[in-house]
Amino acid sequence: MFPQTRMRRLRRRNIIPLLAETVLTKNDLIAPLFFDEAVSEPLPILAMPGQYRWPVSRADAIGKRLYSAGIRAVLIFGIPKIKDPGAFGAFAPDGVVQQVVRSMKAACPDIVVITDLCACEYTDHGHCGVIGECQDGPGLVNDLSLEMIQKIAVSQAAAGADIVAPSCMLDGMVASIRRSLDESGFLEVLIMSYSTKFASCLYGPFREAAGSGYTFGDRSGYQEPVTNRREAFRESELDAAEGADILMVKPAGWFGDIISDIRQIGLPVAAYQVSGEYSMICAATAQGWLEERKAVMESLLSLKRAGADLVITYFAEKVCGWLDEEQ
Ligand code: PBG
Ligand code: ZN
């Protein structure tokens, strides 16, 4: 009680850093990157200022640049030249992601290459697997889609991915991928599952970034409703039981309660600060309404405080620069 207790003693300038309960380091960061098979120069993503679709030919240089900035891990998205119902480009041996992984690992063997494992950038209808007639009309057919996802997983591992990151929210996805990877001899490839991925408006700018807008329906038949906290936990719990190595909550900033729940499962947890979260901060700072560095650091520290071990953020490279200045 006051006056013995004075919380403001803890706020003395030199005491504050000493007592920080939460820190953000470069080791926590994962940088997402988009590679477009059809471009020869970086193509700016208008809804995500400062982000680009990179040509495949730049994969080696970008890997080296990020690694020397202190980034340990990247998350690769590919945009193929040709889309088709069978997502052929996703598991072609010379597909866009396969080429990027090979050249980045050759140039920079120590960087952890994570591949987004989904079909929606490769299907002409834009959905995350095989479409067929379902109970509610045309939709994603779960078990046929699993076979597609398994093929993509093995192909990405064969190209040299360290971690595959399935983002399709299919039932049984982690168990099927683990089985296929093991059968193909990729026992050491990790699975970072997008285990609790909400059906969120915050993926809006990603549609432009990855050219993965769907032509009908939406993703509410497979992604988690934002209203459901206990169900969100079960989604991650099941993926843990199926053999996931790392769990993920996505989006991140509006879902701190979910991150703190899922941390209790005991596996490492990644929080994905998605395109819409990035764009909101960029838009407000461009107007002068928020200070960029403070807004970004606060948003990422709040994810660590909620219980994330890793943060996936489009600000990763910028944050490395700021962390260097703090030293
Ligand atoms: C693909 C995928 C999406 C994102 C990551 N992987 C889009 C979606 O599910 O609609 C979103 C990432 C972002 O918005 O930054 N399944
Ligand atoms: Zn998808």
Q: What is the pLDDT along the chain (327 residues), one digit of tens a residue?
A: 999 999 999 999 999 999 999 999 999 999 999 999 999 999 999 999 999 999 999 999 999 999 999 999 999 999 999 999 999 999 999 999 999 999 999 999 999 999 999 999 999 999 999 999 988 888 899 999 999 999 999 999 999 999 999 999 999 999 999 999 999 999 999 999 999 999 999 999 998 888 888 888 888 888 999 999 999 999 999 999 999 999 999 999 999 999 999 999 999 999 999 999 999 999 999 999 999 999 999 999 999 999 999 999 999 999 999 999 987
Q: For the chain, what is the largest distance between any 2 Cα atoms, rounded to a whole number of angstroms?
A: 71
Residues with Cβ within 8 Å of 64's Cβ and at least 6 positions away in sequence, in order, are: 107, 108
Type of residue numbered 20:
A
Query: What is the per-residue pLDDT across 292-317, written as a single tens digit (0 to 9) for each?
Result: 999 999 999 999 999 999 999 999 99
Q: Are strands 43-44 and 190-191 parallel, antiparallel or unpaired?
A: unpaired
Q: Can you point out the beta strands (E) in the chain?
A: 29-36, 43-44, 52-54, 73-79, 112-117, 131-134, 137-140, 163-166, 190-191, 196-197, 247-250, 269-273, 310-313
What is the position in ligand 1's atom list of the atom closest to the CA of 167?
16
Residue 280 structure tokens: 């909101």
DSSP-derived letter for residue 185 is T
Q: Is 277 in the pocket of ligand 1 (CB under 6 A)?
A: no
Nearest to 171 by CA among 193, 143, 190: 143
Rounded to whole angstroms, what are the CA distances from 86 to 91, 149, 168?
A: 10, 11, 15
Type of residue numbered 252:
A
3-state secondary structure of 313: strand
Residue 186 structure tokens: 């990729």
Tell me, yes or no, if 250 is annotated catalytic.
Answer: yes
Query: What is the per-residue pLDDT across 71-109, written as a single tens digit (0 to 9) for each?
Result: 999 999 999 999 999 999 999 999 999 999 999 999 999
Q: Are 104 and 110 in contact (CB under 8 A)?
A: no
Give dist(CA 179, CA 173) in Å, integer: 10
Give dist(CA 141, CA 86) in Å, integer: 13
CATH class of 22-326: alpha beta
Measuring from atom 12 of ligand 1, which residue has the nearest CA?
Answer: 274
Q: Is 152 in the pocket of ligand 1 (CB under 6 A)?
A: no
3-state secondary structure of 92: coil
User: 273: which strand partners?
Assistant: 313
Residue 85 structure tokens: 């119902």
Nearest to 274 by CA among 206, 226, 191: 206
Residue 130 structure tokens: 């095989």
Q: Looking at the CA of 148, which ligand is closest?
A: 2
Return the domain boundaries, the chain. Answer: 22-326
Q: Is 167 in the pocket of ligand 1 (CB under 6 A)?
A: yes
Measuring from atom 2 of ligand 1, which residue has the nearest CA?
Answer: 167
Alpha carbon 312 to its chain's center: 6
Q: Is 313 in the pocket of ligand 1 (CB under 6 A)?
A: no
Q: Are 274 and 203 in contact (CB under 8 A)?
A: yes
User: 197: which strand partners?
Assistant: 250
Ligand 1 center–CA 203 separation, angstroms? 6
Q: Are strands 196-197 and 247-250 parallel, antiparallel or unpaired?
A: parallel
Residues with Cβ within 8 Å of 130's Cβ and at least 6 positions away in sequence, in order, are: 85, 86, 140, 141, 144, 145, 147, 148
